[in-house]
Structure 1
Amino acid sequence: MKKERKVTFNEFAKEYEKFRPLYPKQLYFDIIKYTNLNKKDKILEIGCGTGKATEGFVDLYYKNITCVELGSELAKLTREKFKYENTIEVHNSSFEEWIEENNKYDLAISATAFHFINPDVGYSKVAKLLKTKGKLAFFWTIHVQSYDKLYSEIREIYRKHAPNLDDTLMNSHEKYIKDIKNRINKTGLFGDIIVKEYTWEDIYTSDEYINLLNTNSKHRLLAEKDKVLLFEGIRSAINNYGGVIKKQQLVALFLGTKLQ
């Protein structure tokens, strides 16, 4: 049976925590401003992973957070990270199967995770769990295609060893963002939809870049032989260009208000 992408993260929880970047501080400020969030307001986080987005709220003293995470190892790391915060709960469950009967939430967040939730369940369940006029703040790290000489060489390596991961076959980041906004609007459950984008550039050594790629579920699902050849090729290409690679980062934030 083909392994689902969403379950692969549990197999490399520690690597995910170590190599995935944090989200920009301004994103949290924008969420707080849009929602007029109070320190005691209840936050529901869907697919918390290792608590990277959770950390951004905790650092700003918004600590009344209920996390739902499918992966047992991911949930374990999040519990450990916030073990001294008695207002943070971590439930090891799929969001679709998670049962919550006693709470209504002021804000629902999800960081690069909600695309793994069954769309027939996801948004309607979020709406049911939110208070009247409750807020939604979902955000995603989105790949941005680059066409400089190094990335063009890397793209050829993908075409040789992992052609299905050729990023020219992917939607552009503009279309990706447009599709998510349309999906939220079509639910009819949320209004006042606002999209904000955050961009910056990170610089990685060849080893750091390979470590980052190895936290991507699509790369994890490659046949081992193909993955080894792919990573060897990419590492060699980066080293031939001075040993470092610049990566354009993009995070898109989608804000909305429950209509009923």
Structure 2
Amino acid sequence: MENKHTFNAVANEYEKFRPSYPSELFQGIIQYSLIEKHDRILEIGCGTGQATSGLVDLGYEHITCVELGKNLADITTEKFKHIKSINVINSAFEDWEGREESYSLAISATAFHFIQPEIGYPKVSKLLKNKGSAAFFWTVHEPSFDEIYSAIRDCYQRYAPQLDDINKPSPDEVINERLKITEQTNLFDELAVKEYRWFQEYTSEQFISFLNTHSGHRLLAEDIRESLFNEIKDVIDQYGGVISKPHLVALFLARKK
């Protein structure tokens, strides 16, 4: 199972336990793109509509959402069924045929990395109007070195050392790599990056459900995943039953040349 397909299997958990994006992020997108309320927006990989909600909350409702996973697309369709100007399309972005130069803004929330850059960026450029904006953002893992996280790393070393976050690139490395990819397309300019940080508390059960929405964990053998999750839950319970998770979202803004 490819990583991009794993979220569809846990669509309801994804909707419930994945952190929503901060309102300041969407305000930053609007300020950069200068779009009007009537402008058309393309969302690539809408998932369960978390980013869609961020735009709707600010009054932007002319949105075409393209989502590969049927379960995810169904949740988004149901969520926004009262807004006729939101259209949810169950398709891979690579296969979908949109009308060229018809969108003022394209957004993608923690999804665009699943699309090959040599396919994704040119297609977005063609779909955007002249000087249209792209706003792609990702949840970037930010490690914590509190004692509780050191104990959790021991669990990973026992069951899934490849998922130990000590092996992950730093946030700066992730951001610089995406900037490089965007620049190399030579299709966009006026690049800008904004970072948003906050903490979120989870009970031990909520934290396990949150981990279960990540593709790396979903791809583990079931017995390994269950043992790993049981030990992590035990660790959190030993530390009072609540864990504070640092979150970081990196927003990449660019304008079509």
Specify if TM > 0.5: yes
The yes-or-no answer on 1:107 pairing with 2:108 is: no
| 2:7 match | 9
| 1:183 match | 181
| 2:52 match | 54
> 2 CA distance for matches of 1:25 and 1:210?
26
> 2 CA distance for matches of 1:7 and 1:204?
26
- 5 Å-filtered alignment, 1:160-239, equals 160-239=158-237
Distance 1:102 1:177, change over 3 A: closer
Please report how far the alpha carbon of residue 120 of structure 1 lies from its aligned counterpart in structure 2 after TM superposition. Answer: 2.2
2:108 partner amino acid:
S
2:215 partner amino acid:
S
> 2 CA distance for matches of 1:257 and 1:226?
45
> 2 CA distance for matches of 1:205 and 1:49?
24
| 1:82 match | 80
Please report how far the alpha carbon of residue 182 of structure 1 lies from its aligned counterpart in structure 2 after TM superposition. Answer: 1.1
Please report how far the alpha carbon of residue 102 of structure 1 lies from its aligned counterpart in structure 2 after TM superposition. Answer: 6.3
> 2 CA distance for matches of 1:29 and 1:101?
27
1:139 partner amino acid:
F
Question: In the TM superposition, what whole-angstrom CA distance separates every residue of 1:57-103 from its partner, at most 9, and x where no partner exists?
Answer: 01111000000000011111111000010100011100000011366
Please report how far the alpha carbon of residue 248 of structure 1 lies from its aligned counterpart in structure 2 after TM superposition. Answer: 0.6
SS class of match (1:21):
coil
- Contact 1:199–1:249 (CA under 8 A) maintained in structure 2: yes
Aligned residues: 257
> 2 CA distance for matches of 1:203 and 1:138?
26
| 1:132 match | 130
1:112 partner amino acid:
T
Match of 1:32 among 30, 33, 39: 30
| 2:90 match | 92
SS class of match (1:181):
helix
| 1:116 match | 114
> 2 CA distance for matches of 1:51 and 1:210?
22
Q: Give every structure 1 segment of 4 or more consecutive aligned residues whose post-TM-superposition deviation is greater than 6 Å.
A: none
SS class of match (1:201):
strand
- Contact 2:100–2:126 (CA under 8 A) maintained in structure 1: no
> 2 CA distance for matches of 1:224 and 1:109?
34
Match of 2:243 among 231, 240, 245: 245
- Contact 1:210–1:231 (CA under 8 A) maintained in structure 2: yes
1:244 partner amino acid:
V
1:193 partner amino acid:
L
- Contact 2:101–2:129 (CA under 8 A) maintained in structure 1: no
- Contact 1:96–1:118 (CA under 8 A) maintained in structure 2: no
TM-score by length of 1: 0.97
RMSD (Å), alpha carbons: 0.9
- Contact 1:43–1:109 (CA under 8 A) maintained in structure 2: yes
Farther off after superposition, 216-225 or 99-108? 99-108
- Contact 2:142–2:171 (CA under 8 A) maintained in structure 1: yes
> 1 CA distance for matches of 2:99 and 2:41?
15
1:254 partner amino acid:
F
